[in-house]
Amino acid sequence: MHPGKKRVRRTMMFLNAHRAGLVKDAYIYKPDSVIFDLEDAVAENQKDSARIQLYNTLKYMDYKGTEKLVRINGKESKHWREDVRASVAGGCDGIRIPKCEYRSDVLLVEEEVIKAEKEFKRPIGSTLLMAAIETPMGVINALELAQSSERIFGISIGAGDFMRTMHAKRTAEGYEMLAARSQLVLAARAADVMCFDTVHTDVNDFEGLRKDTELIKNMGFDGKSVVSPKQISVIHKVFSPSEKEIDMAEKVIYGVEEFAKEGVGVFIVDGQMIDIAMVEGARRVIDLAKASGVYGGEL
Amino acid sequence: MINQAGREIPDEHLVDGIEVFQGQYYREEYEYKKAGPKVKASIKPKESKLVENLREAILKSELKDGMTVSFHHHFRDGDYVVNMVMDEIHDLGIRDITVCASSLGTAHAPIVRYIEDGTITGISSSGVRGEIGEAISEGKLKNPAYIRCHGGRVRAIETGDIHIDVAFIGAPSSDEYGNARGKGGKSDCGVLSYAMVDAEYADKVVVITDTLAPFPNFPPSIGQQDVDYVVVVPEIGDSKKIANELLRFTTNPRDLMIAEYATKALVNTPYFKDGFSFQTGAGGPSLAVTRFLKPYMIERDIKMGMVVGGATKPMIDLLEEGLIGAIMDAQAFDLPSIASANSHPRHFEISTSQYANPMNKGAFVNKLDYVILGALEVDTDFNVNVITGSDGVVRGAPGGHVDTAAGSKCSIIVAPLVRSRIPTIKDSVITVTTPGESIDIVVTEVGIAINPRRKDLLEALQGIDLPIMTIEELRDEAYRLAGQPSDVLFEDQVVALVEYRDGTLIDVIRKPKKISFDL
């Protein structure tokens, strides 16, 4: 498996790839991933210069470990093939494909990615993909999309277009997103890929953002797109494991190691039954704790 | 001669006992006799010091060619006083005037024509912004301008380095006998701290107001015993530009990040304990630090003993919540601060000498634990420039920067690592206004550098979740992002002298070379 496929991605920050002032040092806000946007944020007559800016940013800016993704233009546009070339040439970590509805949408992009990897002598398979789902058809086909390629590390829901097509009304509780979010997280887990929630558009509503994030975290989502650096710390805080959770995760990991030596597969910690199946979840807690800067242990 | 900040000061400026900068406390225990004004006694009882108009006040003050006039900048960009006085002086044909202002800003651009026609030949000011700064940098002023920080200006007046012949003091209210206040008028500014020393040391003092208050207009900032004439004019300023309801609280995530780091550093230093003293400027990140401090203060049950300098609404809120012992105010920045000054029982007006004069018997800045300051540039020796822009043109203001940095136990600079495409942290600043020996911590959004002189602070911040870096690492990061800037090229002509607060010369500002694109 690609080593970056399951990294921590609590926050994925959109950045207009065209704006030099934005992309020069956005890593300082410490999102887990940035998404350089060539699609909606960039005016139609600026697409080519945004691509040049993107290439140079990917090639020459040190993002200090922050994952660098690119949102390319949709397949209906005349830009997306060049977007893929520039992204791969610059060495992005992955590409976010907009408006995915069918497996073929992903495969179409993958084909171009392979060509570009060959052209620019990048290791074949090094560029990950992410399917952005923005329509009811996409939601229905979420599993198909999540399983469409070995390169897919996650699927995400984009609320804006989805709501318009659903005739839904925005509510504080997020009822309008229930159907899509549920379907998405199920598909992601079934396909063993990650699952990301849409942006919280009111950048000054931190309480709403916190509630929204708690909801999706409890549903099983791995993270959320953000449009402002101000949103990052709120989301990270929600995803930051508690001391109790970290403690339990350590007991699971150490416990399984210890008991395995003695040939024991199931044991009890703090009154809870533990087995090897829980190690993956425990590792995830430790990874999140490390990313949140709250882990002081040895794991 | 090279001074202790590593700057070459041409010998021609080292005359009449003027020395180069030799360290921030070089003049400790320096003895001198204070200057004193010439006073024309007013023995006979008289009803009023009112004169008909400004022209009459200037004539009665016997202002002549070659003299020095003074102004304060409490009205900031809303000030009308400087321009109206200089118009009259010009119309009277008086020339070769030195303007000794606490600061000059964009509101005063019209006086550039008097620089050009020789009405004004000298300027002493803390800040010089806008077109006046450009005129100085272009070498239009006959004599080099003096850049003096707030403490340095009052020091120069009290030691007699600069003698004010006539002080023109705009006052929101005054009675006809000259008791003038920062409040009680149409255009209140709260306090008149910058003008207090002028009133005591100028030969003639003219109060200019648009609101004549009943006698006695008490408690006054400027007392009748120092005032010669009172002039009533229709308007002393544009109240909207003098003070806003509220200084805008920054929502810029970069500024907030800087403020968060600065706050986190501050609360982990040893001086953050009950009764600590604090000063901050009115810039975005500085104001945010005040807000971010509050939860830490409440959590640790710590109150500020004293706030010094510029008052702002976030400070007033803390004062009213009982989290500040006293505000010692030398400038009120917004309407809530103006309302509170001298009205709240623990909000006091102080003179700029009390505030920052390095050579009186003890200024309030000496009692500061912390100061949060901005910077245009910081170099790897921690020297700070707050006067010249990246093009070498005069466009800033040391204000109280130099004084508070030297006086406080822990001075914290907050600045973005890069502004547009210009690194803030660099090998060498264009102009040194504040020497690195008085700067303790530099906070940027990328990392925090602690002056290696402050091993105690380095130790205190070990293990705290903060991106501690060396200043060289910060510079490297800035250069990596924006490239190493080429040096600004200057001609030989010195257009301004930068005085350190004690009167020594810390740097000179030269005329920038015109940018030419011929290859």
B179 and B218 in contact (C-beta within 8 Å)? yes
- Alpha-carbon distance of B70 to B166, in angstroms, equals 7
Looking at the fold, whether A96 and A228 belong to one and the same domain comes out as: yes
A127 and A85 in contact (C-beta within 8 Å)? no
pTM (2 d.p.): 0.89
Looking at the fold, whether A232 and A147 belong to one and the same domain comes out as: yes
- A91 inside domain: yes
CB contacts under 8 A, B 86-105 vs A, are none
B281 and B255 in contact (C-beta within 8 Å)? no
- Does the beta-carbon distance from A28 to B251 stay under 8 Å? no
- A267 inside domain: yes
What is the number of domains present in chain A?
2
Strand partners, B425: B378
CA pseudo-torsion sign B455, B459, B462, B466:
negative
Looking at the fold, whether B67 and B144 belong to one and the same domain comes out as: yes
CA pseudo-torsion sign B201, B206, B209, B215:
positive
Looking at the fold, whether A171 and A251 belong to one and the same domain comes out as: no
B419 inside 8 A of chain A by CB:
no
B86 and B114 in contact (C-beta within 8 Å)? yes
- Alpha-carbon distance of A268 to A262, in angstroms, equals 15
Sheet holding B377-379, edge to edge: B384-385, B377-379, B425-426
Q: How would you label B409-433 residue by residue, b for 16+ Cβ within 10 Å and e otherwise?
A: bbbbbbbbbbeeebbbbbeebbbbb
Nearest CB neighbour to A29, from listed B253, B417, B420: B253
pLDDT for B246 equals 66
CATH number reported for the structural domain that contains residue A135 in this entry: 3.20.20.60
- B484 inside domain: yes
Looking at the fold, whether A206 and A260 belong to one and the same domain comes out as: no
Q: What are phi and psi of B443, to 5 degrees?
A: -115, 125
pLDDT per position as a tens digit, A172-199: 888 889 999 999 999 999 999 999 999 9
Looking at the fold, whether B191 and B302 belong to one and the same domain comes out as: no
- Alpha-carbon distance of B379 to B425, in angstroms, equals 6
Q: Kindly report which listed range (A4-8, A279-283, B242-246) carries the lowest average pLDDT score.
A: B242-246
Supply B228's token pair.
């010669």
Looking at the fold, whether B122 and B270 belong to one and the same domain comes out as: no
H-run or E-run covering B287: helix B284-299
- Alpha-carbon distance of B306 to B350, in angstroms, equals 13
Nearest CB neighbour to A28, from listed B251, B446, B465: B446
Q: At which of B209, B242, B275 does a domain end?
A: B242
Looking at the fold, whether A179 and A40 belong to one and the same domain comes out as: yes
- The arithmetic mean of pLDDT across residues A117-141, rounded, is 96
- A16 inside domain: yes
- A1 inside domain: no
- B66 inside domain: yes
pLDDT for B283 equals 79
Looking at the fold, whether A92 and A170 belong to one and the same domain comes out as: yes
Measured N-to-C along each axis, helices B193-201 and B150-159 cross at an angle, to the nearest 10 degrees, of 10
Looking at the fold, whether B174 and B60 belong to one and the same domain comes out as: yes
pLDDT for A55 equals 97
pLDDT for B21 equals 98
Supply A167's token pair.
């005739």
- Kindly list the residues from chain A whose CB atom is less than 8 angstroms away from the CB atom of residue B473: none
- B317 inside domain: yes
What is the number of domains present in chain B?
2
Looking at the fold, whether B237 and B257 belong to one and the same domain comes out as: no
- B20 inside domain: no
Q: What are phi and psi of B158, to 5 degrees?
A: -70, -30
Name the closest residue on chain A to residue B255, using Cα atoms.
Answer: A230
pLDDT for B518 equals 64
- B5 inside domain: no
Q: What are phi and psi of A36, to 5 degrees?
A: -70, 120
Looking at the fold, whether A176 and A277 belong to one and the same domain comes out as: no
Looking at the fold, whether B143 and B164 belong to one and the same domain comes out as: yes
pLDDT for B251 equals 84
B418 inside 8 A of chain A by CB:
yes
Supply B133's token pair.
């700064």
pLDDT per position as a tens digit, A150-169: 999 999 998 887 888 888 88
Integer angstrom CA distances of residue B375 from A99, A216, B354, B388, B437: 46, 43, 24, 11, 15
Looking at the fold, whether A105 and A131 belong to one and the same domain comes out as: yes
Quote the domain boundaries for residue B336: 253-489
B216 and B174 in contact (C-beta within 8 Å)? no
B489 and B378 in contact (C-beta within 8 Å)? no
- B485 inside domain: yes
- Alpha-carbon distance of A117 to A134, in angstroms, equals 27
- Alpha-carbon distance of A87 to A81, in angstroms, equals 10
- Please report which residue ranges of B227-252 form alpha helices under DSSP H: 239-242
- B43 inside domain: no
B417 inside 8 A of chain A by CB:
yes
Q: Which of A28, A230, A234, A235 is the best substitution to test chain B (most B C-beta atoms within 10 A)?
A: A28
Q: Considering only residues A235 and A279, tell me which one the structure prediction assigns the higher pLDDT.
A: A235
B205 and B63 in contact (C-beta within 8 Å)? no
Looking at the fold, whether A24 and A140 belong to one and the same domain comes out as: yes
pLDDT class for A84, splitting at 50, 70, 90? very high
Q: Which of A24, A25, A233 is the best substitution to test chain B (most B C-beta atoms within 10 A)?
A: A25
- Alpha-carbon distance of A179 to A280, in angstroms, equals 28
Q: Which of B445, B464, B466 is the best substitution to test chain A (most A C-beta atoms within 10 A)?
A: B445
Q: Considering only residues A3 and B221, tell me which one the structure prediction assigns the higher pLDDT.
A: B221
Looking at the fold, whether A145 and A179 belong to one and the same domain comes out as: yes
Q: At which of B242, B277, B310 does a domain end?
A: B242
H-run or E-run covering B93: none
Q: Report chain B (519 residues): mean pLDDT per 10 consecutive residues.
A: 96 94 96 95 88 97 98 95 98 98 95 97 93 96 97 98 98 97 95 98 98 96 97 95 77 91 97 97 86 95 95 93 97 93 95 97 98 96 96 93 98 94 95 98 97 97 94 96 91 97 98 79
Three-class secondary structure of residue B408 per DSSP: coil
Quote the domain boundaries for residue A283: 243-291
- Alpha-carbon distance of B306 to A71, in angstroms, equals 52
DSSP category for residue A229:
G
Strand partners, A33: A12, A67
Q: Mean pLDDT score of chain A, rounded to an integer?
A: 93
B458 inside 8 A of chain A by CB:
no
DSSP string, A278-299: GHHHHHHHHHHHHHTT---S--
Integer angstrom CA distances of residue B414 from B423, B425, B463: 14, 11, 21
Looking at the fold, whether A176 and A264 belong to one and the same domain comes out as: no
- A298 inside domain: no
pLDDT per position as a tens digit, A226-274: 999 999 999 999 999 998 999 999 988 988 888 888 888 788 878 888 8
- Does the beta-carbon distance from A25 to B480 stay under 8 Å? no
Exposed / middle / buried, residue A207 (Cβ in 10 Å: 0-12, 13-18, 19+)? exposed
Looking at the fold, whether B334 and B392 belong to one and the same domain comes out as: yes
Residue B389: Cβ within 10 Å count: 20
ipTM of the complex in this document: 0.78
Instruction: Say if residue B219 is preceded by a cis peptide, omega within 30 of 0.
Output: yes
CATH number reported for the structural domain that contains residue B216 in this entry: 3.40.1080.10
Q: At which of B181, B211, B242 does a domain end?
A: B242
